[in-house]
Amino acid sequence: MSEHVIAATGLTKKYGDLVAVNGVSLSVEKGALYGLLGPNGSGKSTMIKMLTGQIRPTAGTATVLGVDVQQDPVGVRERVGIIPEQETPPSFLTAHEYLQLVGAIRKIPDIEERAAWWFDFMDFGDKKDVLCKDLSRGTRQKLMFAQAFVHQPALALIDEPLINFDPIMQHQVKDYLAEYTKKGNTIFLSTHILEVAEEICSDFVILHKGNILHTGTVASLVAEHRHLDDFFLELVQRTRNV
Ligand SMILES: Nc1ncnc2c1ncn2[C@@H]1O[C@H](COP(=O)(O)OP(=O)(O)OP(=O)(O)O)[C@@H](O)[C@H]1O
């Protein structure tokens, strides 16, 4: 039997008259690398914020790792890893102090060893004692990536995690994510980089103006000799023209 790591039913978020997410229902199976795709303003970040209990839906329900997000948002955040959209680590801490803080909050006994692994893996050990406010954008993003995965969560919800990385780091992170799901973990990834999504995602959903335009698997596109970027452009263009 398939195991749903995320199950959302009729999730809706309204900001005044604006419907940012409109009754979205989706399910994500264990081990999936699930791509959350859509043009600017289509509701991707709002979905991630609702699924991680950062904002309350106007309507609808969701369970994440079996926990009801509205009833126990802290319980969800304890279990998952999150990279929020365009978030930066605390300006007044060094990179090392930030990972120590995350280790204390998440009660990770071997945080020093784990932090050392991440500094090495993402090649920023020389910056570990630099205040976050003085780190480059890409290095801050490395730190955000490390904090999301340092406790090796069964599920990570990551919003545009690759955007500030150079091509070498993008490649490395892409491989990391693919390997991570092969171990039975699940990734819910919002991205505009469709080549990356095509390369590593197993499943995807395309949102447009808060509605689901399409859900499918990358394998089914490949079987039809189609590329995700063409498919996306056609679908969104067609929707804009109706
Ligand atoms: N706090 C807020 N108050 C009012 N409107 C908001 C708020 N947050 C998001 N919105 C609106 O909700 C809609 C969806 O925004 P969201 O950030 O979820 O889209 P997105 O798909 O993540 O976009 P992008 O790809 O540009 O990051 C947009 O029209 C946005 O302006």
| Domain locations along the chain | 4-85+153-241
Quick one: DSSP state of residue 1?
A: -
Distances (CA, A) of 32 to 74, 84, 180, 203: 23, 20, 10, 7
User: What average pLDDT does this structure show over 77-100?
Assistant: 94
In this prediction the pTM is 0.95
Alpha helices in 80-227 (DSSP H): 95-105, 111-121, 137-149, 167-182, 194-200, 218-223
**Amino acid letter, 213:** L
Pick the range with the lowest mean pLDDT from 3-17, 69-83, 196-210, 219-233: 219-233
pLDDT of 1 strictly over 70: no
Q: Looking at residue 240, what is its pLDDT?
A: 73
pLDDT tier at 148 (50, 70, 90 boundaries)? very high
CA 107, 109, 115 angle in degrees (round to 5)? 95
Distance between CA atoms of residues 80 and 92, nearest Å: 25
User: What average pLDDT does this structure show over 107-136?
Assistant: 97
CA–centroid distance, 59 to ligand 1, in Å, is 17
Model ipTM over 0.85? yes
Nearest CA to ligand 1 atom 24: 40
Q: Looking at residue 87, what is its pLDDT?
A: 81
Q: Quick check: CB of 86 below 6 Å from ligand 1?
A: no
- Which CATH code of 3.40.50.920, 3.40.640.10, 2.40.50.140, 3.40.50.300 fits the domain covering 4-85+153-241? 3.40.50.300
* Strand-pair partners of 29: 4
Question: Starting at the edge strand that comes first in sequence, how are the strands of the sheet with 211-217 ordered?
Answer: 81-83, 155-159, 186-190, 33-37, 203-208, 211-217
Q: Looking at residue 2, what is its pLDDT?
A: 54
Over pLDDT 90: what percentage of the chain?
A: 88
Task: Give me the DSSP letters along 142-162.
Answer: HHHHHHHHTT--SEEEEESTT
Q: Quick check: CB of 46 below 6 Å from ligand 1?
A: yes
Tell me the backbone φ, ψ of residue 32, rounded to 5 degrees: -80, 150
Please compute, for residue 13, the number of CA atoms within 13 A of its CA located in the half-sphere on the CB side.
23
Nearest CA to ligand 1 atom 26: 40
